[in-house]
Amino acid sequence: MTKLNRIVVVGASLAGLRAVQALRAADFAGDITLIGAENHAPYNRPPLSKSVLDGDGDITLPGAEQLEDGWLRNRRAAALRTADRLVVLDDGSEIAFDGLVVATGASPRRFDAQPAGVHSLRTVDDALALRTELEAAPGHVTVIGGGFIGSEVASTARRQGISVTLVDAGSHPMAATLGSNGAQWLARHHERHGVDLVSGVRALGFDGESRATAVLLSDGRRIPTDVVVAGTGVEPNTDWLRESGLKLDNGVVCTSSLFAEGESSIVAAGDVSRWSHPLYHGELVRVEHWANANEQGALAARNLLVGPAEAETYAAVPSFATHIHGARIQIAGMPALSDEEYVLLDESTEDRLVVAFSSRGVLVGAVAVNAPKDLIRLKRAIAARTSRDEAVA
Ligand SMILES: Cc1cc2nc3c(=O)[nH]c(=O)nc-3n(C[C@H](O)[C@H](O)[C@H](O)COP(=O)(O)OP(=O)(O)OC[C@H]3O[C@@H](n4cnc5c(N)ncnc54)[C@H](O)[C@@H]3O)c2cc1C
């Protein structure tokens, strides 16, 4: 293990903040520089598609208030010169490191031409701009993409009494994330709450000169609208690493202990990290969940300090929870990696659903709607690599 004197953390959000806190907690005596492209102190993103749109602005992330020393805000890393151990900033200045944490997260996919009135939702500024539009009581909102963020925005807008169309390219929104039973339930749930669901078509573009007035669909339809929310997924922020020599493939490819492949002094954490997950036969996974960034930021920093030989693997069961039209939806594990799914409970009248997912006979994922105890049980079973037969018995 080499002694580190200067650690640079790129990305000043959840994973980056947790990395800095872990370094301090480990009494790291060297210099820490935190580089963040946003002007805001690190904040919580989950409320941006929920309470913030309803007017509650609390997005406090505990610990962010202690950051001032060594924090370069509103500064973007433009390149990494791996062999020279240098991060190059957007103004051409260079910052030397002997340990690096990559925590640059992800950014929304955007349409080539995104006119006024079309909103992406990743930052607090995005959320405030959308909130202003919703407060103006638009007649109609079109949400493109029925993933979590799109579904949450649809739910919030309906609660505010706004008419909503949700356009999704799949047969049902979130079929890959929730499995077919969960996705069918969600489609019915949206419709029961007054969302006009248009599945199996793509949004190709917009009508309107200075502002979008309609969404144009791949089946030739045109949806007149006042506000559009584009929730078409995210891409990991790895552009600045393009010439770095790090292995990039839908994120920074990492070992099971979060070291960038082939590197002993560079780790990656949070939405940007695609690591070899010990629970899933070492398969590379990238997870866009709060808990993942929260835990990985801290572990990646601790691993950086001890070096790869003594590092801990990151084997947590991914987990996610949200509320959509009042129903609590929880996911554990990776349903997307499954080859079979089993409905363990389906009480449509109560809006309760529990589905287990297995791969090669082993439990790998679970989805629960309004059934938190079942989810806890299944999450433990996933962590213990329980066989499908035992889990669904
Ligand atoms: C609207 C919304 C709702 C969500 N809801 C939930 C939820 O209910 N449950 C859940 O589990 N998860 C949710 N998430 C996901 C969760 O917020 C993310 O998984 C988490 O924020 C990831 O943290 P991160 O630190 O890895 O990346 P990010 O939060 O994306 O932060 C990365 C930071 O790096 C900065 N950066 C990027 N490139 C550079 C560069 N070159 N130089 C310097 N800085 C750079 C970015 O500006 C950003 O500040 C939600 C996300 C959003 C956007």
Nearest alpha carbon, ligand 1 atom 47: 37
- Mean pLDDT, to the nearest integer, of 304-316? 97
Three-state secondary-structure class, residue 291: helix
Ligand 1 pocket, residue 270 CB under 6 Å: yes
Nearest alpha carbon, ligand 1 atom 2: 46
Pocket test for ligand 1, best of 153, 237, 330 (most atoms within 8 A of CB): 237
Nearest alpha carbon, ligand 1 atom 28: 105
Count other Cβ atoms within 10 Å, centred on residue 125.
Answer: 12
Q: How far is the CA of 95 from the centre of ligand 1 (A)?
A: 23
Pocket test for ligand 1, best of 240, 290, 292, 319 (most atoms within 8 A of CB): 290
Predicted confidence (pLDDT) per residue in 204-259, tens digit: 999 998 899 999 999 999 999 999 999 999 999 999 999 999 999 999 999 999 99
Q: Is the pLDDT of residue 53 over 80?
A: yes
Q: How far is the CA of 219 from the centre of ligand 1 (A)?
A: 33
Ligand 1 pocket, residue 14 CB under 6 Å: yes
Give the confidence band of 393 by pLDDT, cuts at 50, 70, 90.
Answer: confident
Give the confidence band of 148 by pLDDT, cuts at 50, 70, 90.
Answer: very high
Give the confidence band of 2 by pLDDT, cuts at 50, 70, 90.
Answer: low
Predicted confidence (pLDDT) per residue in 231-241, tens digit: 999 999 999 99
Taking CA atoms, 279 is separated from 233, 255, 273, 316, in Å, by 25, 13, 16, 8
- Mean pLDDT, to the nearest integer, of 117-140? 94
Three-state secondary-structure class, residue 273: strand
Residue 250 — left, alpha, or beta (φ > 0 → left; ψ -120 to 50 → alpha)?
left
Ligand 1 pocket, residue 252 CB under 6 Å: no
pLDDT of residue 21: 96
- Mean pLDDT, to the nearest integer, of 71-88? 96
**8 A C-beta contact, residue 119 and residue 215:** no
Ligand 1 pocket, residue 151 CB under 6 Å: no
- DSSP per position, 195-226: -EEEES--EEEEE-SSB--EEEETTS-EEE-S
Q: Is the pLDDT of residue 1 over 70?
A: no
Query: Could you give the percent of the chain with pLDDT greater than 90?
Result: 89
Predicted confidence (pLDDT) per residue in 367-382, tens digit: 999 999 999 999 999 9
Count other Cβ atoms within 10 Å, centred on residue 198.
Answer: 20
Nearest alpha carbon, ligand 1 atom 35: 11
Pocket test for ligand 1, best of 104, 125, 328 (most atoms within 8 A of CB): 104
What backbone phi and psi angles, to 5 degrees, belong to 60?
-60, 135
Q: How far is the CA of 361 from the centre of ligand 1 (A)?
A: 34
Looking at this protein, which amino acid is placed at residue 94?
E
Ligand 1 pocket, residue 111 CB under 6 Å: no
Pocket test for ligand 1, best of 34, 39, 44, 45 (most atoms within 8 A of CB): 45
CA–CA gap between residue 233 and residue 344 (Å, rounded): 30
To the nearest whole number, what is the mean pLDDT of the chain? 95
CA–CA gap between residue 62 and residue 43 (Å, rounded): 9
Q: How far is the CA of 106 from the centre of ligand 1 (A)?
A: 6
CA–CA gap between residue 72 and residue 256 (Å, rounded): 30
Ligand 1 pocket, residue 33 CB under 6 Å: no
CA–CA gap between residue 390 and residue 372 (Å, rounded): 20
Q: Which of 240-244's residues contact partners 24+ apart within 8 Å by CB, and which partners? A: 240/10, 240/76, 240/77, 240/78, 240/79, 240/80, 240/104, 241/79, 241/80, 241/102, 243/79, 243/80, 244/79, 244/80, 244/81, 244/82
Give the ranges where the chain is alpha helix by DSSP (H): 14-25, 124-135, 148-159, 175-192, 290-306, 372-383, 388-392
- Mean pLDDT, to the nearest integer, of 128-141? 93
Q: Is the pLDDT of residue 95 over 60?
A: yes
Place of tokens 């339930």: 185
- Mean pLDDT, to the nearest integer, of 23-49? 95
- Domains with residue ranges and CATH for the chain: 6-107+236-310 (3.50.50.60), 110-230 (3.50.50.60), 326-392 (3.30.390.30)
Ligand 1 pocket, residue 357 CB under 6 Å: no
CA–CA gap between residue 337 and residue 181 (Å, rounded): 15
